[in-house]
Amino acid sequence: MGYYDDHVTETVSRRRGPNRGGSGLSALIGAVVGGFIVLFSIPVLSNIGLLPYEINDREVSGIPEQETPQEGLAQTISYNVNSDVTQAVNKVSDAVVGVINMQQTNFFTQEGNEGTGSGVIYKKSGDKAYVVTNHHVIERANEIEVSLADGTRIPAKLLGSDVITDLAVLEIDGSDVDVIAEFGSSEMLQVGEPALAIGNPLGLRFSSTVTQGIISATERSIPVDLTGNGQIDWYAEVLQTDAAINPGNSGGALINIEGQVIGINSMKIAQSSVEGIGFAIPTEIAIPVIEDLESIGEVRRPQMGVGIRSLNEIPSTYWQETLRLPEDIKGGVVVTSISPNSPADRAGLQEYDVIVEIEGEVINDGHDLRKFLYTEKKIGDEIDVDIYRNGTRETVKVVLAEQQSF
């Protein structure tokens, strides 16, 4: 291993030659005479119009145009700091609010605990405004308040929340709301694109904190335990970013360089050996959920009733040995479990079936499957599911039912 200094020491070699002193004196005299000639000839040439610019006599003489500031007086220097980042932040920062979860802990003393997170004002209609935040930010709250950018605290009404996507929608009085966040498309994001996280880390003392990073990945599937029993109940489809997301940032905005909200900050990997891995719910998943929560207070989803794993999450050595897939199959979803009396159970699906296509739509992973069911189909629809079972391709008809709550 090599080590390198942080500076370079330069050695200059000088040689002495004959008549060094004499030649140096001649050069000095020539330089002085030439300088005086130039100094006195410039004003003359300027006055007769032979120079392309004008010379002020006070500048030539060394006399300043203005008096220099008195010693000890401060000088004000004005800078215009304006960039794509500051413009993006200024566009949306006032729409990012604090969300206070108040929980009563003692009936007799009325003492309670407060938890804080973040939220985004995404809509204003009449005298009402609407805020999206995380489900876990408002979970088990007796009362909820929203803290605006200027510190004003407003009571909030919970319209609905969804534990699966970890989203909730609040309604507040919109009288003091002037800025509304604009949703952008998360489907157009590219890895390496700038991303800015805005929220309230560590409580309202650090409100409207901005951190900068990039989009690290656009489609991450993160295992989530929704019931607290230590078992994986869901795989959340999220954006990954290295913009710092700290406790209290949950529910805040992940924005692009245009100042558009592209994700709702949700979680991070909290390990001492891990830095810069945070996650946000992409807008393509969040917007339909927000609309349902605002209008009907819940999200009604179709389901097949299967547990799944993406094929790319399983070592390739099992693809042919255990699943007996043809060698040209590189994507799909493996059925890992089937709920009793579910649509999948009634249709005859089996464990280790590999779903590769639904209604002619290629299914490469769990993200494709959920996106297709939640955006293209509704409860009661009958779908054709193409699977590989023991090396043979088959088509199974499944009638979708309503997904059960966790």
Residues 6 or more apart in contact with residue 70 via CB below 8 angstroms: none
Q: Residues 135, 147, 161, 166: which is the catalytic one? A: 166
Q: How far is CA 31 from CA 24, 81, 239, in A?
A: 11, 44, 67
Name the percent of the chain in helix, strand, coil, to the closest 5.
Answer: 20, 35, 45
Calpha distance 160→76 (Å, rounded): 52
Tokens of 253: 């905005």
Please confirm, yes or no, whether 272 is among the known catalytic residues. Answer: no
Please confirm, yes or no, whether 365 is among the known catalytic residues. Answer: no
- Using the structure block, give the residue that is written with the tokens 């991450």: 220
3-state secondary structure of 237: strand
Q: H or E stretch including 99? A: strand 96-104
Calpha distance 81→316 (Å, rounded): 53
Tokens of 141: 């709250």
In 3D, which of 395, 387, 181 has the Cα closest to residue 286?
Answer: 181
| Amino acid (1-letter code) at residue 73 | L
CB 121 within 8 A of CB 181: yes
Please confirm, yes or no, whether 136 is among the known catalytic residues. Answer: yes
Residues 6 or more apart in contact with residue 157 via CB below 8 angstroms: 144, 170, 171, 172
3-state secondary structure of 117: strand
Calpha distance 311→325 (Å, rounded): 11
Calpha distance 63→266 (Å, rounded): 64
Q: Residues 207, 250, 266, 310: which is the catalytic one? A: 250
Q: Residues 93, 118, 136, 221: which is the catalytic one? A: 136
Tokens of 117: 């997170």
Q: What is the set of active-site residues?
A: 136, 166, 250
